[in-house]
Structure 1
Amino acid sequence: MAKFIDRAKIYVKGGDGGNGCVAFRREKFVPKGGPAGGDGGRGGSVILVADSGMHTLLDFKHKRHFKAERGRHGEGNKRTGKSGEDMIIKVPVGTVVKDVETGKIIGDLTKPGDKLTVAKGGKGGRGNSAFATPTRRAPDFAEPGEPGEERWIELELKLIADVGLIGFPNAGKSTFLSRITAAKPEIADYPFTTLRPILGVAKVDDFSFVVADIPGLIEGAHAGKGLGHEFLRHVERTKLLLHLIDLSDPTREPEEAFEKINKELHLYSPKLSKKPQIVVGTKIDAVTNKSKIEKAKKYFESKGYPFFAISAVTGEGITELLRYIAEKVKEQKGE
């Protein structure tokens, strides 16, 4: 399994512009034959392109310096130097780009094919023919090319998903995702099985939506404990949160689990905690006291949250839940 890397720092430099050329034609009766130096070529730029085939910033762990080609120098006979090739760097869709020095966001690549120039190439210098005037008919100087822009930038990946799965480790998120989509998360009965966000596409009739299973939250996540911050950044873009709660957990009441996770969300980002949530009670096949399910349903619906009880193992309740999610995602997208 590819390691999930969602932050990277890279150095980018646009190509320098080529120097202008000092040259003269060989003509009788014209001082020095007349100026004939061509301009230097423009340096290439460094351009980021969002690629839907990439899902991690792992490529930037080892290669961190990217330089575009410099422009060629001008030549005689007023020939302009060849421009440098642009350097195209592919990044995952959902990459936010910041200038390291200023901390300012330069751009946000949210759709496949989105482009962002992060270091412009320098302009080519003018050749001596550009400086000829009626009184200065044989200039013996030219301009040097301008240097290309250079800077360190930070890439930060925020997943693009319609629905984010939240809940304590072991709430059953990975099993649920593998049940409703073709995604294959690691599944085992211990916390933090999901060590990187996993995307899956769920389909209801002819409508599909993207679901992200993100590493489990623990108390203190907003302060960076566990996999906290790494997790929370990825749910920022989702339209809807599916809050999964293990109803078979004897150590924690559903209400308590719900309040603790929402407290973490609010401490990290009040905006995030205001996203619409659907509460899903999981592992009902392992619940011996069925009144616990009814009690949870009553509690969450009284708080204004839609509540569904499911078993990802037997499939009970899943079709009804998926249809409800699809309708809500359509509403959020304005479809």
Structure 2
Amino acid sequence: MKFVDEAYIEVAAGDGGNGCASFRHEKYKEFGGPDGGDGGRGGHVYVMADVNLNTLIDFRYARRHEAKRGQHGMGSDMYGAAGDDLTLRVPVGTVISDAETSEVLMELLTPGEKRILAKGGDGGFGNLHYKSSTNRAPRQKTMGKPGQRLSVKLELKVLADVGLLGMPNAGKSTFITAVSNARPKVADYPFTTLHPNLGVVRVAPEQSFVVADIPGLIEGASEGAGLGHQFLRHLQRTGLLLHIIDVAPFDDSVDPVAQAMAIAEELRKYDEALYEKPRWLVLNKIDMLDAAARKAIRQKMVDGLQWQGPVYEISALAREGCEALIRDIYAHLRAAKAPTEEEIAERFDPRFDR
């Protein structure tokens, strides 16, 4: 299935039904009085996060979505039925914003979360509604209110704990294949990965995290070069970034330090908050180097980048060093999610009982 992470659609809630002006006409019932019922409410448009979806392709071609209008009121005290609601199912992690103002309307981050996007119009009042002791034969009625109409942008940001960064052919797809259940395409040419891939990494029973692999970045990505700039949004919800670097490139003229600095600069240009996320350096393809060369390239990377964070040496193809890396990742994610001392104190402070 084609991966689509952005779509523009029109949604229209149902209009309310009109009220009815009617009088009771029945044999032997003189002065039957008003019996026109109210119109029914128009249908609402809901959106629901569906864990079984991972793309917005259904909305790429179906651009307009309308709920049913309410039924008109009728005589004999009959009220109109409410219009059927419409529920749009979207992937978990979808952001919905106004297409004209770019204002974010809602984010659906929890599986099964259901929220109203457009409200149906209220039904109009029938003349039965206006009956009183001083107004025995009301003839007024009201029309139904129109439902909300919106032009919205749907934008998918995948929910992952760890994001993979790197140049094309750095070995990101091989790494996610080695440590998770994902099976992306792996080949010996650039831009093999054309859309984000998600993989669940099992550390132990009931211990896992999700990794996101996006297409490789090149210099100028933040201005539109290459493919990765289209998918950098999918790293904005991650808690940790793994910067994977090919330490044994086929072309001897390639400088891994310069490439790493270029990727970091593209992150900074795209989103300062993304640039500030915790980032670990992962030196890949070490199986192609001897011990002395490994030590030399590691020192070159640390000195050239003035790196202060963690550095790991792995071979994704041979799965060397991967197990230790994923265990450290899980420990880091678990520590980041642990409650602070202030949160623990607040949790047990009787003043905060609700």
TM-score, normalised via structure 2 length? 0.90
- Match for 1:165: what amino acid? L
Q: What's 1:173 paired with?
A: 172
Contact kept, 8 Å, 1:301 with 1:307, in 2: the verdict is: no
Map Cα deviations across residues 11-68 of structure 1 (whole Å, 9 max, x no partner).
Answer: 100001111112222365754x101111111011111101111101111111111000
Contact kept, 8 Å, 1:254 with 1:296, in 2: the verdict is: no
How far off is 1:293 after superposition?
Answer: 3.8
Q: What's 2:114 paired with?
A: 115
Q: What's 1:246 paired with?
A: 246
Q: What's 2:229 paired with?
A: 229
Map Cα deviations across residues 205-251 of structure 1 (whole Å, 9 max, x no partner).
Answer: 13100000011111111112211331211111111001100000133
Contact kept, 8 Å, 2:21 with 2:35, in 1: the verdict is: yes
- Match for 2:8: what amino acid? K
Contact kept, 8 Å, 2:257 with 2:305, in 1: the verdict is: no
Q: What's 1:285 paired with?
A: 287
Q: What's 1:255 paired with?
A: 257
How far off is 1:263 after superposition?
Answer: 0.4
- Match for 2:64: what amino acid? H
Report how many aligned residue pairs link the two structures.
333
Contact kept, 8 Å, 1:247 with 1:292, in 2: the verdict is: no
Distance, in Å, in 2 between the alignment partners of 1:294 and 1:224 is: 31
Q: What's 2:220 paired with?
A: 220
Map Cα deviations across residues 68-122 of structure 1 (whole Å, 9 max, x no partner).
Answer: 0111111222221111111000001111001112221100111111222221100
Q: What's 1:328 paired with?
A: 332
Distance, in Å, in 1 between the alignment partners of 2:329 and 2:66 is: 46
CA distance 1:217–1:98, shift in 2 (3 Å): same
- Match for 2:303: what amino acid? Y
Contact kept, 8 Å, 1:42 with 1:84, in 2: the verdict is: yes
How far off is 1:257 after superposition?
Answer: 1.8
Contact kept, 8 Å, 2:261 with 2:305, in 1: the verdict is: no
Distance, in Å, in 1 between the alignment partners of 2:197 and 2:95 is: 19
Distance, in Å, in 2 between the alignment partners of 1:296 and 1:332 is: 30
Contact kept, 8 Å, 1:220 with 1:228, in 2: the verdict is: no
Structure 2 unaligned blocks of 5 or more: 340-354
Distance, in Å, in 2 between the alignment partners of 1:159 and 1:110 is: 10
Say if 2:112 is the partner of 1:145: no
The alignment partner of 2:262 has SS state of: helix
Structure 1 unaligned blocks of 5 or more: none
